[in-house]
Amino acid sequence: MTVSIAVAKETAAGEKRVAMVPKVAAKLTKLDVTLTVAQGAGEGSRIPDESYDEPVLLSGQTDEIYTANVVLAVNAPEVEQINKMKKGSVLISFVQGHNNPDVVEALQNNGITCFAMELIPRISRAQSMDALSSQANAAGYKAALIAANALERFLPMLTTAAGTIRPAKVLVIGAGVAGLQAIATAGRLGAKVYGYDVRTDTKEQVESLGAEFLVAKGVKAEAEGGYARELTDDEKAQQQQMLVDNMADADAVITTAAVPGKPAPRIVSQAMVEAMKPGAVLVDLAAAGGGNCELTKPDEIVTHGSVTIHGPSNVPSLLAEHASEMYAQNVLNFLQLIVVEEEGQDDVKPGEKKHKLAFDWDDEILAKSVLTRDGELVNETVKAALGAASEARDVEKKA
Ligand SMILES: NC(=O)c1ccc[n+]([C@@H]2O[C@H](COP(=O)([O-])OP(=O)(O)OC[C@H]3O[C@@H](n4cnc5c(N)ncnc54)[C@H](O)[C@@H]3O)[C@@H](O)[C@H]2O)c1
């Protein structure tokens, strides 16, 4: 049976990305699959329907899209759409299950096998499927440009007949994928860049980009798997003081700090903002997760004194063309793990081989990225988070 794959049109407000672009679709259709793209799905990424070449099909019927064997999306579809999916079919998208109990419930109720892109493990073999990284790269790059654009100052040092302009100081808090890209981009624009992260092993990466690493003495907050853990109160105090001193001196601050599965850590207080230079800019890439700055409002520019705080909640979407292209390539690489050649085709030419959907649950990438398997919620972290949230709701109801 040929595997049917469909690409959803994103419905979230402000979402311009699409899960499959023509260039990558052409590679996907070399497998024995039918690929249907929802009409207008690429519009936000400036991809007209006609750009998807044959054999890609276009469909204006939402029902047709959601009844495919595999549905591809950037964000989890709405419950109403998941309810249209067939039992045993597959959804591949970002889900953020811990924040979306209704979506998880719909996946369970409809017997869906859902692979959540954010759960793909950060192992070398999965690097080409790592959509968290590809989208964080886009976000970090754009964050530096937002800061540069909002500042009423030059970033680079300028020596002109009208005098010498000193380079701007840009401080990037959180040196993960997005932070490192923000550091690199601000550096290319000529700013004097400083990086900070609770994981002291990022020092080398920050320095390799020509930036200076800020160290709060005695703080090391790395947990298993290279991710950050939450800091103790004492550690938080030390970190605050070091940041207060450096922020007061910065023209632009870009915050990118995150702890997976948890609200964004609060790092920048109102007092720290008030100590910033007049006209300084803060870009908070953690806005969607609650913000690293206590004054951040998602999708707003807050002016506090003469400091502006930008809280864009979906920065990759501002770079939709390339963010979609990278996401689509991540998805294709992942699909190749589950759309596999049928056995006994040794004599068949490569382009004519039959493919089927198959899941090797011994493969770490599949085992870790699967959120629901035939409707069963199998990710322990999301299960625990949702269990805790529903218990808290019960307690609230009783009180
Ligand atoms: N395939 C791979 O091997 C691979 C791919 C991508 C990322 N990684 C690693 O995964 C890790 C997380 O990357 P990410 O970009 O997704 O991170 P993330 O988005 O989860 O977090 C961003 C950064 O914020 C930092 N942070 C958290 N709390 C902080 C605080 N209170 N103050 C300052 N900084 C704080 C984190 O240490 C992290 O570097 C990194 O170690 C990265 O190198 C590995």
pLDDT digit string, tens, across residues 276-319: 999 999 999 999 999 999 999 999 999 999 999 999 999 999 99
Residues of 197-224 as b/e, b for ≥16 C-beta within 10 angstroms?
bbbeebbebbeebebbbbebeebebeee
Across the range 91-107, mean pLDDT stands at 96
What φ, ψ does residue 379 adopt, rounded to 5°? -80, 120
Ligand 1 atom with the shortest distance to the CA of 132: 16
pLDDT at 398: 67
pLDDT at 239: 75
The CA 118 to ligand 1 mean position distance, Å, reads 13
Average pLDDT over all residues of the chain: 93
pLDDT at 150: 98
Cis peptide before 350 (omega within 30 of 0): no
Residues of 64-89 as b/e, b for ≥16 C-beta within 10 angstroms?
ebbbbbbbbbbbbbeeebbebbeeeb
Q: Is residue 23 part of a domain?
A: no
220 lies in which domain range? 131-314
Across the range 17-21, mean pLDDT stands at 98
Confidence of residue 45 (pLDDT cuts 50, 70, 90): very high
In sequence order, what are the residues at sequence separation of 6 or more whose Cβ sits closer than 8 angstroms to the Cβ of residue 258?
Answer: 174, 176, 228, 264, 265, 286, 289
The CA 228 to ligand 1 mean position distance, Å, reads 7
Q: What angle do CA 302, 95, 123 make, to 5 degrees?
A: 100
Residue 389 reports pLDDT greater than 90: no
Q: Is residue 63 part of a domain?
A: no
Which residues form the catalytic set? Answer: 122, 127, 130, 133, 227
The CA 202 to ligand 1 mean position distance, Å, reads 9
CATH of the domain at 201: 3.40.50.720
Q: Is residue 239 part of a domain?
A: yes
CA dist., res. 78 & res. 98, Å (int): 15
pLDDT at 262: 83
Q: Is residue 266 part of a domain?
A: yes
Distances in whole angstroms, Cα of residue 280 to Cα of each of 186, 250, 267, 306: 15, 7, 17, 7
Q: Are strands 70-75 and 90-94 parallel, antiparallel or unpaired?
A: parallel
Is residue 261 helix, strand or coil? coil
Which of 94, 96, 122, 137 gets mutated to test ligand 1 (max ligand atoms within 8 A of its CB)? Answer: 122
Number of independent structural domains in the chain:
1
Q: What is the pTM (predicted TM-score) of this model? A: 0.93
pLDDT digit string, tens, across residues 185-239: 999 999 999 999 988 789 999 999 999 999 777 666 555 565 666 778 887 788 7
> Which residues are near ligand 1 (CB < 6 Å)?
122, 124, 127, 130, 132-133, 136, 173-179, 196-199, 202, 226-228, 231, 256-260, 265, 267
Confidence of residue 142 (pLDDT cuts 50, 70, 90): very high
Q: Is residue 377 part of a domain?
A: no
The CA 261 to ligand 1 mean position distance, Å, reads 12
Q: Is residue 72 part of a domain?
A: no
